[in-house]
Copies of this chain bind each other. A is one copy, B any other.
């Protein structure tokens, strides 16, 4: 008789975004005349860069002719095309990080890698995650029955928790710039994490999905900017927010050759996992992605990034003028603010929806330390972001 994976029964359903959607829809139904602005959007809204579009059209044409048709991707790098891998190595080299082609694994996105990477680790490890947290880190480990330990991110540490020497962990999740808080670690802070991991033979899973939003030179864009990181960290990257690929699906994960645990190369384990349970990313997608880190590609994506950065600035400036505490806004598309007047997250959600017709995301949905906080995002249009800020300012100045 078949037994299900009973760990799934321990998953908590998250109603965060569903409830946000339901409340918003209910309000709009009651007030059809109101112009409701969503600053809760976690998805990009600007179209793909022209170089990407051109590369994808060319790749589709390649697929239409027998002479240039492509089947399964090349075996050598787990189905990643060398041109794409070379362009990723180029992006790393510009950050001062030297990697080998065999250390870069192309995938259909950071979320897939984030879940699938756990396959190479025993279920008996203890996992350290920040609170508040991107729920995928928690749920993927619950599915494997791993012990999860939380570390507090809060106003005191600027939502950038540092290691607690009293806590032992085998797998450590760091996301910088962070989702949902927008806070980003400096190289010095990451060095402390790397030393902590090395001392314990732990592995850091470093989620760098938002690294292209970093402009401050003192902040790390890759954990490999820190010495020793290649001995203890796996870095998960994405084209989703970097180049608007949320609907194109491409990411990459770096597993350094130097990363060895229990005498086994994690690079080899991951290569075995991917070559067994994965068959690569669409050729069309890979060619589009390869265009991103060219000189012209980087110029074009930085136009989109700057558009979102300006939205983040608009929101940050509004909060500055209202003297509201927040993290992010700089070096991140997220703004994580303390709800004014000691309001709880959902109370502030309702207040903002009803009085300013602006939708955000209650921080309490990301963990207990999120209570009393609120997330706004920079992925809307410039016009609606400005209008939302005008309304927020008018509403909160009144009080």
Which chain A residues have a beta carbon within 8 Å of chain B's beta carbons? 1-6, 8-9, 11, 43-48, 50, 53, 56-57, 60-61, 63-66, 69-73, 108-109, 111-112, 114-116, 119-125, 136, 139-140, 143, 170-171, 200-203, 244, 246-249, 261-262, 264, 266, 269, 272-273, 276-285
| Bound CA–CA A390/B112 (angstroms) | 47
Copies of this chain, count: 2
Does A69 lie within 8 Å of B47, measured CB to CB?
yes
Complex: chain B residue closest to A49, CB-CB: B64
| Bound CA–CA A276/B111 (angstroms) | 8
| Bound CA–CA A73/B111 (angstroms) | 14
Does A249 lie within 8 Å of B66, measured CB to CB?
no
* Residues of B close to A44: CB separation below 8 A: 71
Does B272 lie within 8 Å of A8, measured CB to CB?
yes
* Residues of B close to A112: CB separation below 8 A: 277-279
| Bound CA–CA A307/B171 (angstroms) | 51
Determine which of B3, B57, B66 lies in contact with A170 in the assembled complex, contact meaning CB atoms within 8 Å. Answer: B3
| Bound CA–CA A201/B264 (angstroms) | 38
Complex: chain B residue closest to A273, CB-CB: B143
* A100 to B: closest C-beta gap in Å: 21
Determine which of B1, B66, B140, B280 lies in contact with A276 in the assembled complex, contact meaning CB atoms within 8 Å. Answer: B140
**Contact A109/B283 with A4-B262, A125-B3, A170-B2 known, Cβ cut-off 8 Å:** no
Of A72, A139, A203, A279, most buried by chain B (CB within 10 Å of CB) is A279
Q: Could you jot down 5 A-B contacts, CB within 8 Å?
A: A1-B170, A3-B125, A44-B71, A56-B63, A143-B273
| Bound CA–CA A262/B4 (angstroms) | 7
| Bound CA–CA A312/B108 (angstroms) | 34
* A192 to B: closest C-beta gap in Å: 19
Does B247 lie within 8 Å of A278, measured CB to CB?
no
**Contact A272/B1 with A112-B278, A280-B249, A283-B247 known, Cβ cut-off 8 Å:** no
Complex: chain B residue closest to A47, CB-CB: B69
Closest 6 CB pairs of A and B: A115-B277, A3-B122, A43-B71, A71-B246, A70-B247, A1-B201
Complex: chain B residue closest to A261, CB-CB: B2
Complex: chain B residue closest to A283, CB-CB: B247
* Residues of B close to A143: CB separation below 8 A: 119, 273, 276
**Contact A119/B5 with A279-B108, A282-B284 known, Cβ cut-off 8 Å:** yes
**Contact A3/B47 with A57-B57, A273-B143 known, Cβ cut-off 8 Å:** no
* Residues of B close to A115: CB separation below 8 A: 276-278
* Residues of B close to A277: CB separation below 8 A: 111-112, 114-116, 136, 140
**Contact A60/B60 with A4-B266, A139-B276 known, Cβ cut-off 8 Å:** yes
**Contact A60/B64 with A3-B125, A4-B262 known, Cβ cut-off 8 Å:** no
| Bound CA–CA A46/B71 (angstroms) | 9
* Residues of B close to A170: CB separation below 8 A: 1-3
* Residues of B close to A280: CB separation below 8 A: 247, 249
**Contact A125/B43 with A249-B281, A282-B248, A284-B248 known, Cβ cut-off 8 Å:** no
Does A108 lie within 8 Å of B108, measured CB to CB?
yes
* Residues of B close to A248: CB separation below 8 A: 63, 282-284
Does B269 lie within 8 Å of A4, measured CB to CB?
yes
* A20 to B: closest C-beta gap in Å: 13
Does A279 lie within 8 Å of B109, measured CB to CB?
yes
